[in-house]
Every structure is written in structure tokens, then in C-alpha cells.
Structure 1
Amino acid sequence: MKTSDIAALLLLGAIWGASFLFMRMGADEFGGMALAGMRAIGAAVCSIPLLTRTRLVEMRTHWRDIAIVGIANSALPFVLFSYAAKSLPAGVSAISDAIAPLLVALSGWMLLGEKLSATQASGLLVGFTGVVWLVLGTVGVNGHAHATGWAMAACLGANVCYTFGAHYSHRRLRSGVTPLSVATGSQLAAALLLLPLTIWMWPTHTPGWTSWLAVLGLAAICTSLAYVLFYGLMARVGASRSMVVMFLIPVFGVMWGLLFLHEPVTLAMAGGCVVILLGVALTTGMLRPRNRGSALDEVLTERA
């Protein structure tokens, strides 16, 4: 890749990693639902300049499928990760975000009859070993086993949503609609879905300015701008190389939590992160000489 593309990849990893920092900053004052809703609504507003005539035609033609992707890849994960941010360190949530390719491969094999090579199967085993390590080392941290347990379950649920969205978009939105149209349309769908819930569950006390800055960062930078950067990068270097960002998100997520929130980096976080990413590398083919296309490519390209 060109130096400019490597720089764009690092910037994208830093931006998406920062989303977990911003959720951690805003979750307490906004609450999970209102924070997720403001993220989706803000991202939809920022995406209005992308609504060209061609994209509007594509979204109108495929509006049902795009709406389903918006629910699976934006609305529900935003709510679940925002809920988890009230109890989990930003670094832990960022690490958990990396398990989506493992779930895509596992569900594809179990439910859709997709074949797994020996390398991919070993990658699943390695990756889920890292997940167990992370969960066992995180649940009960600071003596709050109940809260952290449910928060980890929320992170897992968000990745299950991403898994469904990846398979669905891989089969229903592969032709006739561009990825950026799916991303823009799905944000609009998520915003419409979460708007009434956001109004209903609006916090009784007005959030402070740091929480509002966190919302602005989530919506404008980590969602709207990030997808523009990602699809531009994907157009230049391809989906497989762009998926390297999956390995950068946990690293930056842990780093931002350490720098700005003074979150400790535990052995469970460091070890679980390394083992999970090794499993992802094996499962997605990053450590294989040849990379076969599947719904795994859709984990990031359709996440919006």
C-alpha cells in the first residue's frame, strides 16, 4: 500500500478505537439508549451531504434490506455497546469488538454450510479461547460481577447483530447498490428507529459539555466521517487489506482508555486481545497465502 493509504488505515483505526472512549465518556450522563440514539441521529444528519440522486434511487429501491441492515449493524449495536460502556472499560469493549469475524465464520459453518479449512477452524478455537480469557478476567472487576457480566453479554450481543448483518448484506445487497449507499441509508433507518426511544428515555438531568463532546465525536467523527474514510480506502486497496483496521481498533481502544481515562491494562485485556487477534488473523485468512471471499469481508464493509 501507498504511504497515504497506510496513514488512512491508521487514522481509521484510531477513530474507530476512539468510539469506545467516547461511549465511556457519555454513557453515564446520557444513558445507553439516549447516547445510542444521539449517535445515530447525529450521524444521519452528517450524512445528508452524501445523499446524491443516485444514492437516493438505490436506497428507495432497496429500502427494506437497507433498513434491516441499519437495525442489525447500527441501531442495536449502538444501544448494546453504549449500555456496556456504563460498566466496562473502553479498552475491554474495543477488544470485544474484534470477535465479529469469528462469529461470522462460525455461524456460516454451522447454519449456512460454508466450509472451514483446518487453519480457519484452528483460528476459531484460538480466538474463542481469547474471548474466554477476556471474559473470565473482566467479569467481577472492581467487585461488580453482575454489572460487568451483563455488560460483556451486551458486547457479545452487539457482535451477534454484526454477524447477522454481515450475512444478510452479503446475500441481499451485493448488487444494485453501492456500499456507501447502504451505509448512509442504514444510518437514516437507525436514526428513525431510535428517535422515539431517545425522546422517551432522555436523561432527567442535562448532560455536561464533556458528554456532549463525546456524542459529537461519536456521530460526526467515529460514524459519519469514519465510513467515508473506510469506503474510500476500500476502493483504493480492496476489502481484504482494509480489514486490517479490525486489528487496529482494539489497540487504539486500549490506548485511548489508558491515556484519557487512566484505565489500567490488565493481563486479561492484553492476553485476551493478542489471542483473539491471532484467532481472527487465522480465521479471516490474514495468515494464509490465499484469501477466499465470503461474508467475512462484509463485517466492516457493511457495518454502519
Structure 2
Amino acid sequence: MLQGALLIAFAAMLWATTAIVAKFLFAGSGLAPITLGFLRLLVALPFFWLLMHREQRYIKAKAIRSGESIPATTPGRQAFIPLLALGAFQALYQGSYLVSVDLTGAGIATLISLCLPPVLVAILASPLLGEKPSLPTILAGLAAIAGTLLLVISDMDTAGTLRVAGILMALLAAAVYTGFTLTSRYNSAGTPVFTTAFWCFLTAAMLLLPVALATGGWAGVQSMTLKHWLMVAYIGVVPTCIGYLCYFKAMQSTPATLSSIIVTLEPLFVALLAWLILEEKLGPIGLAGACILTVAVIVASRYGKASGASQDG
């Protein structure tokens, strides 16, 4: 379990570098956030295609050894509907999150985008999935709202203005990621992990490409140098491919509740890196908001998962 926990923490640290590198990309080139979202997925797709085929070979070999019928290599019609929905959520999340990073600070964008969803999931799981929320879950939701408000106040204080567009995009990213998580829970088609990841990322890339072309985001690619392309490759390979591989590997031996808590290290890593590298400061109010939001996530993860488990049992 310790090895799995360390792998998840390592994955969270790798994911945290996405916003930092993206901030340098946006500042040093004309690359649009939507285009970066597409390029990130484009770089990662071959990697997940290989993992998907390796996974399918393993499933086939296991079925042959046990004398069972060999399953289909591609998802069926019933499985494709939630996969397409996950891809649509992924595309919207990639776009809204990277836009929020561009319009605000990397730290505050990530804190709002990634800390709110677990709390929202814990609350919305009751009416949508029949998972009854406990009192700690409800209190965690209220605390999350308070923490978010403190972050907004802190950002307004340090930036000297209320960056409404960036805050709204971060809130949109949080809402989209909530939909992604709820759809993942609802999906009972049993599609293997890397098959799900490949089709989800492929759908997201196909949706982001026409948006990037229609909004003129592709023009910014012409201003990119070798250094900028290396940054894009880094985002596609390290936090996306290696990060998700570490996470999926760790999930084989790490309880879901523990993993959901460890993942909350990502926004904290981003806030720390943004402070060290980008000189973004949260200030006392922002630090208080970040702490409140993090505690709310931990409480929601523990009690939200527990209530869901008891409901299923």
C-alpha cells in the first residue's frame, strides 16, 4: 500500500507541473489554451493506444487460460455512449482549465478546478446516484464554498482587480470535472481502464481540433520555437502519459478513499510551484482559503466514499 500511495503522490506532483509549464508557454508564445489542450492529447494518444492493445492482449490471454469466451477488442454500442460523454467532458475540461490558467494564476486556477469537484460529487451523488450524503459531507460542501470565496478575494487583492473571466473558467472546469466523475461512476459497461482512457482522449482531441481551428488558435503555432515544442512534448508525455500510468498502477493496490485524498496534493503542489517559480502569492486570505478547501476535499472524500459504499452494500 505504501508503494501505491507514493506512486499516486508522484503522479500528483507530475500533474502539478502542467499548469506551470503551460503558463510559460502562454507567456512566451502565441499558443492558445485550446490548441495546447489538443496537442497534449495528440502527443499522449499513441502511448495510450499501445497500453490499450497490451491490456487487450492480457485480457484475451486470461480468457483463453480460463476457458472463457474471448471478449470483443473494441467497446460495444452500449459502452460507447458513456465513453463519448467522458470524451466530451475531457475536451471541455482541458479547454476551460487551460484558459483559466492563462487568465488567472496557475495556483488559484488549479485549486478551484480540482478541489471543488470532489465536494460537488459528494453532494450531487445523492440526487443523481442515490448515494445519501452525511452531515460531514454537507459541512464539507459549505466549507468548500467558503474556501473558494477566500481564494477569489485573495486573487482580487494580489492582482489588484477581480479577474472574473479566469475565475468563471476555473468554476466551469470544476463543474465539468464533476460531470466527468459522475459519468465515470454511472458507467457500468465495464470497459477496461486503458481502453477507456484511449477512446476518451481520442474523442476529446477530435472535439478540440475544430474548436481550435474555428477560433484561430492554430495561428499561434507559427510563433512557437523548438523550446516551446519541447514544452508541449513534456506536457503530453510526463504529466499525461507517465502521470496517468503511475496513477493507474497505484490504483491496483491502493484503496479508493486513500487515493482520492492523496490526489488532493496536486493543487497544493501547483500552488507551491507557482509560488517558487512564477512568484504567484496567495496571501494570508488565500492560504486560509486553500487550507479550508483542502480539508473540505479530504472530508468529502472520506465520508462521500463511505456513504456511497454503504449505499451499494
Q: TM-score range by the shorter chain?
A: 0.7 to 0.9
Unaligned runs of 5+ in 1: 295-304
Q: Is the 8 A contact 1:42 1:219 kept in 2?
A: yes
Q: Note the alpha carbon deviations across 1:245-293, whole angstroms, 9 max, x for none.
A: 332101210122122222224223311110001111222226x9x8233
Deviation at 1:233, TM superposition (A): 0.5
Which of 125, 142, 145 is equivalent to 2:142?
125
Letter in 2 for 1:123: A
Displacement after TM superposition at 1:58 (Å): 4.2
Partner of 1:236: 253
2:121 to 94, 100, 104: 104
What residue number does 2:108 align with? 92
Match of 1:198 among 182, 200, 212: 212
Residue in 2 that maps onto 1:40: 41
Query: Of the candidates 154, 163, 166, which is equivalent to residue 181 of structure 2?
Result: 166
Q: CA-to-partner distance for each residue in 1:80-102, whole Å, 9 max, x for gaps? A: 01111112111112211211111
Q: 1:51 to 1:157 in 2, by over 3 A?
A: same
Q: Partners in 2 of 1:39 and 1:59 — Cα distance?
A: 24
Amino acid at match of 2:103: S
**Residue 177 of structure 2 is aligned to residue 182 of structure 1:** no
Q: Is the 8 A contact 2:158 2:281 kept in 1?
A: no
Change (3 A) 1:272 1:214: farther
In the alignment, which residue of structure 1 is the partner of 2:18? 19
User: Is residue 152 of structure 1 aligned with residue 190 of structure 2?
Assistant: no
8 Å contact kept, 2:121–2:178: yes
Bigger shift: residues 100-109 or 210-219: 210-219
CA–CA separation in structure 2 for the residues paired with 1:98 and 1:138: 16
Query: Equivalents in 1 of 2:157, 2:168: separation in Å?
Result: 13
**Deviant stretches of 4+, over 6 Å:** none
Paired with 1:45 and 1:206, the residues of 2 have a C-alpha distance of: 26
Contact 2:132 2:307 survives alignment (8 Å): no
Return the alpha-carbon distance in structure 1 between the equivalents of residues 7 and 180 of structure 2.
25
TM-score when normalising by structure 1: 0.85
Q: How far apart, CA to CA, are the structure 2 residues paired with 1:92 and 1:211?
A: 24
Q: Does the CA-based 8 Å contact 1:12-1:245 persist in structure 2?
A: no
> What's the offset of the Cα at 1:163?
1.2
Query: Could you tell me how far 1:111 is from its partner in structure 2?
Result: 4.9
Instruction: Supply the AA of the counterpart residue of 1:169.
Output: S
CA contact (8 A) 1:98 1:276 kept: yes
What is the distance in 2 between the residues matched to 1:110 and 1:292? Answer: 13
Distance 1:176 1:6, change over 3 A: closer
The letter for the 2-side match of 1:285 is: R
Q: Percent of counterpart pairs with the same letter? A: 21
Structure-to-structure mapping, 1:251-270, within 5 angstroms: 251-270=268-287
Matched, 1:31 2:46: no
Is 1:78 matched with 2:94? yes
CA RMSD of aligned residues (A): 2.4
SS at structure 1 position matched to 2:199: helix
What's the CA shift string for 1:187-243, capped at 9, x where partnerless? 111112222333442134422344323322221111222211111100111322221
Which residues of 2 match residues 47-66 of structure 1 at below 5 A? 47-52=48-53, 54=56, 57-61=73-77, 62-66=79-83
Name the CA shift for 1:104/1:87 in 2 (closer, same or farther; >3 Å).
same
Structure 2 unpaired stretches of 5+: 58-71
Q: Return the TM-score normalized by structure 2.
A: 0.83
Aligned to 1:224, which of 241, 247, 266? 241
What's the CA shift for 1:59?
Answer: 3.3
Q: Deviation digits for residues 29-56 of structure 1, max 9, x if unmatched? A: 3112111111121221332211317388
- Structure with higher Rg: it is 2
| Deviation for aligned residue 1:129 | 0.9
Q: Aligned partner of 1:89: which letter?
A: G
